[in-house]
Structure 1
Amino acid sequence: MKFEELRPILWTEKLDETIDFYTKTLDFTCDERNDDWGWASLHRDAIVIMLAKPNSHEGFVKPTFTGSFYISINDVDSFWDKLKDKANICYPIENFEWGMREFAIYDNNGYILQFGQDIPN
């Protein structure tokens, strides 16, 4: 048995606004959307994120995810330059002792998205 991929589903009551954030700010593509279900699937390169409006059995109030989504990219400085004036910054770009250059933003729902790149030795 082999795990093949992880596709997080982010709950949001603001489906249109969230699709706009991911497609217009982060350059994701909306591959599929079903308004009857309140659901959409987006991707950028190998990263897939699904969005869903909460339904009655989920008991959603607001995002309570206590972690972050870490996305490895190959040119973190260019992406930082693109986002630094367009997104709500969690922490600015910097080099960390564990060998990563990274930064983090909040999406329109308050989820933390981290972007990082290995620092060459």
Structure 2
Amino acid sequence: METLSPNIFTNDMKGTIAFYEILGFKKTMSVPEEGDELVWAMMVTGSVTMMFQTFESLAEELPEISRNNGGSLLLYINVKDITVFFDKIKDKVTVLKGLEKTFYGATEFSILDNNNYVLTFAEHE
């Protein structure tokens, strides 16, 4: 195995792209390539790749996919300069847990994305 790129389902593709742009992600690919009604998009920042897809686009092909936002999923993302990153986004997102030092030596904070997924950002010393 080499990489993991989560494909997150959304009911609001425009809102999702806008939210992840706040975090520094850039859209690199989409289906269709242009237009307002995207059904899939890939966004990248640094070496982190996230894909987003509408529930409807896979409803017939994979009906097993949950049709609820959020769920029992936490995405753990390593970053550098976590304090600077936190200060940059804290007033633009829903912060669930502010900056704190963990027992295992990481500095972390957690936010909620626009689809109710929890994102935890961490910097390890």
Q: Same fold (TM over 0.5)?
A: yes
Cα deviations by residue, 1:90-114 (Å, 9 ceiling, x for unpaired): 1000111111101010111110111
1:67 Cα offset (Å): 2.4
- Which whole-Å CA distance do the structure 2 matches of 1:107 and 1:96 have between them? 22
Q: Which of 112, 115, 124 is the aligned partner of 1:109?
A: 115
1:60 Cα offset (Å): 3.7
Q: Which runs of 5+ in 2 are unaligned?
A: none
Alignment pair present for 1:16 and 2:17: no
Alignment pair present for 1:80 and 2:86: yes
Partner SS, residue 17 of structure 2: helix
Matched residue, 1:31: 28
CA, structure 1 residues 37+84, in 2 after alignment: closer, same or farther (shift >3 Å)?
Answer: closer
Q: How many residues align?
A: 116
Matched residue, 1:7: 5
Moved over 4 A (4+): none
Aligned partner of 2:53: which letter?
A: A
Aligned partner of 1:93: which letter?
A: L
Cα deviations by residue, 1:21-77 (Å, 9 ceiling, x for unpaired): 111x11101001114771000000100000000122335422243121111111110
Partner SS, residue 70 of structure 1: strand
Do 2:70 and 2:116's aligned partners in 1 also have CA atoms closer than 8 Å?
no
Matched residue, 2:124: 118
- Which whole-Å CA distance do the structure 2 matches of 1:83 and 1:17 have between them? 16
- Which whole-Å CA distance do the structure 1 matches of 2:70 and 2:14 have between them? 20
Q: TM-score, normalised by structure 1?
A: 0.89
Alignment pair present for 1:62 and 2:76: no
CA-based RMSD of the aligned residues comes to 1.5
Partner SS, residue 4 of structure 2: coil
